[in-house]
């Protein structure tokens, strides 16, 4: 081994000594820090904070079929104060109390509170928020949020539904389509010290919110308003408990209107609409209050079942014609009742309808005829049709909480139960189930899914998704459906639905007067179901009036109202009347040109309308919209709809 020179050895020893001293010093230093400064360092780390602020997503709009906005989220602001950043507490309190119309002392107390972030007011108009921002005072934070607004107030309230302040749908379409409408909230992350002040030299981390998409529906606000107005008038006239009018396209299941009365204000959905309940509201416990609100929000066309009565004869007739157990010209004899298994079950006409053909039996809505048909079918076959028409299932409508039909177990169906089911008793179904089954019976045999949603759109109105709903074909044969259509047309031309007849249109339908349970209470539901044009139905209407006073026959209470509705909405939908040579001579068919009423006051519009009657919607000063448009030709006895705003 080579000898290391002496000078080099000395340097090596010195270097090693220096290193040892340094390492020792480091150990001492670390020990000192761990022992004596640990607490200080923990404090330092704790004092670095991330402040997270939510960037709220704008909830998507709900539109009607003509892109009229039914539900919209508008921008509102929330104002808060970051105490540590405030330089002049009194100036801040003065500005905020003035602009936000709040008590100065209360605001000052909040501003002086030593918290990171103190909320002052939410749902502030963006213009007011901008005025506050413009004042440029330190320590005021303005966040943007959204407020749901329903431009038509109570219109279609149980159907459209409403969303809560957290942008979560609570009832109606707002719930069903929540995943599309809601959007995704974003956030801003800011690194701050313990006082909530952003650390110098740090960046904000920003994740932008994604706005919700738009739901386009089949609702038509013109038809909906018209149906609602007629419904409310009828309920008032008949001092009835409640009612509904549904207008649907029976070929594809699109619902144009679902008017329910009483309704409630979607902009104020937690205020009870019942005067008696409102008077004692404060003394009610929260469970009773919630029950009352749920009752008010309830859509009984979908959520509740009832005994349909004679409208159900459409289903019995469809089954009987399909099974060939009846011929159109076959004669029956009604003596005012039929004895089934020793029980005398009465016809609604106590004196009896006498000799009648099957077609006349439908026109007369004769109970013994339909009891006979049900008995001929037998319980098992009758039930096969109840299943074909899916009364044991939900219709699949795009509103939650749907009920299904309530019926006996087939093994428990004796002759009496079967006979009474034949004319629509001993079975409870929803109005929507009835409508869907009736649609299948007359549309050629297609069981459609009733629905409102048609498309999901992006913010520019581009179609992202076209919503599709199941259709079951051949529930009844096309031939049977055609026969049934023409039989039901005679109900309007010659039978109990004659009050719905409109010159120039062919309409098929069926009236009903159902007795509510218990029958001893003598309470009724009057109803009327019809479709038009008979050979290619585009409109099916079902009207129900629950507990009318006085005359309660469906043909008297509902048929004339539905006529009034159809007279106005059929031309609106482009379904024009076709007159025979004879009909075109009739006075009600002579035409006038629609005058321009826009901008006029109500009294001016009345004068300008000449002979034509006006239907007034809205309560404003002047006509902002009218239907039909100026220059169109209408029958002298039809009405012009005007909107006042």
Distance of CA 583 to the CA centre of its chain: 40
Cβ at position 352, least distance to Zn ion in Å: 6
The site that binds Zn ion (CB under 5 A) totals a number of residues, namely: 4
313 lies in the site for Zn ion, by CB under 5 A: no
Cβ at position 366, least distance to Zn ion in Å: 3
Q: Which is nearer to Zn ion, 293 or 334 (CB)?
A: 334
What are the tokens at 222? 């013109």
Cβ at position 373, least distance to Zn ion in Å: 13
Cβ at position 328, least distance to Zn ion in Å: 17
Site for Zn ion in 452-511 (CB under 5 A): none
Please, what's the b/e burial string for 515-539 (b: 16 or more CB within 10 A of its CB; e: otherwise)?
A: beeeeeeebbbbbbbbbbbbeebbb
Stretch that binds Zn ion, among 45-53, 62-70, 342-350, 555-563 (CB under 5 A): 342-350
Q: Which is nearer to Zn ion, 366 or 397 (CB)?
A: 366
Selected catalytic residue, list 97, 310, 322, 526: 310
Cβ at position 318, least distance to Zn ion in Å: 20
Nearest to 257, CA basis, from 232, 285, 220, 211: 220
Q: Which is nearer to Zn ion, 360 or 455 (CB)?
A: 360
Q: Is the peptide bond between 373 and the residue preceding it cis, with omega within 30 degrees of 0? A: no
366 lies in the site for Zn ion, by CB under 5 A: yes
Q: Which is nearer to Zn ion, 347 or 475 (CB)?
A: 347
For tokens 């719930």, the residue is 175
Q: Which is nearer to Zn ion, 370 or 505 (CB)?
A: 370
Where are any strands of DSSP class E within 372-428? 406-407, 427-428
Tell me how far apart the alpha carbons of residues 371 and 93 are, in angstroms, rounded to a whole number.
79
Cβ burial of 582 (10 Å; 0-12, 13-18, 19+) is exposed
Stretch that binds Zn ion, among 55-63, 91-99, 329-337, 415-423 (CB under 5 A): 329-337
Tell me how far apart the alpha carbons of residues 353 and 343 are, in angstroms, rounded to a whole number.
19
Binding-site member from 79, 321, 334, 484 for Zn ion (CB under 5 A): 334
What are the tokens at 247? 């207008």
Tell me how far apart the alpha carbons of residues 274 and 291 are, in angstroms, rounded to a whole number.
13
Nearest to 504, CA basis, from 562, 560, 575, 577: 577
Binding flags for Zn ion, 271-290, as an x/- string (CB under 5 A): --------------------
Tell me how far apart the alpha carbons of residues 515 and 309 are, in angstroms, rounded to a whole number.
8
Binding-site member from 347, 421, 439, 565 for Zn ion (CB under 5 A): 347
359 lies in the site for Zn ion, by CB under 5 A: no
187 labelled catalytic = no
Cβ burial of 78 (10 Å; 0-12, 13-18, 19+) is middle
* 3-state SS assignment for residue 536: helix
Q: Which is nearer to Zn ion, 366 or 374 (CB)?
A: 366
Q: Which is nearer to Zn ion, 190 or 365 (CB)?
A: 365
Q: Which is nearer to Zn ion, 169 or 309 (CB)?
A: 309
Site for Zn ion in 381-440 (CB under 5 A): none
Stretch that binds Zn ion, among 364-372, 532-540, 589-597, 626-634 (CB under 5 A): 364-372
Stretch that binds Zn ion, among 116-124, 347-355, 478-486, 598-606 (CB under 5 A): 347-355
167 phi and psi angles, rounded to 5 deg: 65, 30
What's the Cα-to-Cα distance from 591 to each of 98, 532, 534, 633, 641, rounded to whole Å? Answer: 61, 22, 25, 6, 17
Stretch that binds Zn ion, among 65-73, 346-354, 567-575, 611-619 (CB under 5 A): 346-354
Binding-site member from 353, 485, 499, 510 for Zn ion (CB under 5 A): 353
Rounded (to 5) percent helix, strand, coil in the chain = 40, 25, 35
Stretch that binds Zn ion, among 69-77, 212-220, 332-340, 487-495 (CB under 5 A): 332-340
The site for Zn ion (CB under 5 A) is made up of 334, 347, 353, 366
| Residues known to be catalytic | 310
């Amino acid at each position: 081994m080579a000898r290391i020179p002496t000078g080099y050895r000395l340097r090596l020893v010195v270097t090693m000594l220096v290193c040892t001293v340094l390492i020792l010093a480091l150990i001492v230093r670390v020990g000192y820090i761990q022992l004596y400064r640990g607490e200080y360092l923990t404090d330092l780390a704790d004092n670095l904070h991330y402040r997270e602020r939510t960037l709220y997503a704008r909830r998507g709009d709900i539109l009607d079929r003509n892109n009229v906005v039914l539900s919209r989220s508008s921008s509102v602001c929330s104002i808060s104060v970051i105490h540590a950043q405030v330089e002049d507490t009194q100036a801040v309190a003065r500005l905020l109390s003035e602009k936000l119309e709040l008590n100065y002392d209360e605001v000052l107390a909040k501003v002086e509170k030593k918290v990171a972030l103190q909320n002052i007011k939410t749902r502030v108009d963006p213009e007011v928020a901008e005025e506050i921002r413009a004042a440029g005072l330190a320590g005021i934070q303005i966040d943007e949020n959204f407020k749901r607004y329903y431009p038509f107030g109570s219109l279609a309230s149980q159907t459209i539904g409403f969303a809560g302040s957290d942008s979560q749908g609570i009832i109606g379409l707002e719930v069903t389509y929540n995943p599309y409408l809601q959007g995704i909230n974003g956030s801003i992350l800011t690194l701050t010290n313990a006082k909530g002040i952003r650390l110098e030299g740090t960046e904000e981390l920003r994740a932008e919110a994604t706005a919700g998409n738009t739901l386009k529906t089949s609702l038509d606000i013109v038809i909906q308003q018209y149906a609602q107005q007629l419904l409310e008038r009828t309920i008032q006239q008949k001092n009835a408990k409640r009612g509904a009018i549904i207008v649907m396209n029976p070929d594809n299941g699109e619902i144009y209107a679902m008017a329910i009365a009483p309704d409630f204000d979607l902009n104020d959905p937690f205020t009870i609409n019942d005067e008696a309940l409102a008077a004692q509201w404060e003394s009610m416990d929260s469970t009773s209050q919630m029950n009352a609100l749920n009752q008010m929000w309830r859509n009984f066309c979908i959520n509740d079942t009832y005994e349909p009565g004679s409208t159900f004869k459409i289903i019995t007739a469809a089954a009987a014609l399909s099974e060939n157990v009846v011929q159109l010209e076959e004669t029956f004899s009604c003596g005012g009742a039929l004895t089934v298994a020793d029980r005398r079950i009465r016809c609604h006409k106590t004196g009896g309808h006498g000799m009648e053909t099957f077609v006349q039996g439908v026109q007369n809505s004769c109970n013994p005829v339909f009891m006979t048909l049900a008995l001929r079918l037998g319980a098992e076959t009758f039930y096969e049709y109840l299943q074909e028409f899916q009364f044991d299932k939900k219709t699949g409508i795009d509103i939650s909480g749907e009920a299904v039909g309530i019926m006996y177990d087939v093994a428990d169906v004796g002759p009496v139960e079967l006979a009474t089911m034949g004319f629509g008793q001993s079975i409870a179904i929803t109005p929507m189930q009835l409508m869907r089954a009736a649609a299948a019976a007359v549309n050629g045999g297609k069981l459609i899914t009733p629905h409102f949603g048609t498309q999901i759109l992006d913010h520019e109105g581009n179609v992202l998704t076209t919503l599709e709903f199941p259709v079951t074909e051949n529930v009844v044969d096309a031939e049977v459906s055609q026969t049934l259509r023409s039989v039901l047309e005679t109900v309007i031309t010659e039978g109990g639905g004659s009050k719905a007849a409109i010159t120039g249109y062919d309409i098929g339908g069926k009236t009903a007067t159902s007795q509510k349970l218990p029958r001893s209470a003598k309470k009724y539901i009057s109803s009327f179901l019809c479709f038009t044009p008979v050979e290619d139905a585009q409109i099916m209407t079902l009207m129900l009036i629950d507990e009318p006073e006085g005359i309660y026959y469906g043909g008297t209470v509902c048929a004339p109202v539905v006529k009034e509705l159809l007279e106005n909405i059929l031309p609106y939908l482009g379904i024009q009347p076709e007159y025979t040579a004879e009909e075109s001579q009739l006075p009600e068919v002579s035409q006038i040109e629609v005058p321009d009423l826009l901008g006029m006051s109500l009294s001016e519009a009345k004068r300008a309308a000449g002979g034509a009657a006006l239907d007034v919607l809205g309560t404003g000063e002047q006509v902002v919209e009218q239907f039909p448009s100026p220059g169109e030709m209408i029958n002298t006895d039809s009405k012009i709809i005007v909107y006042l705003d």
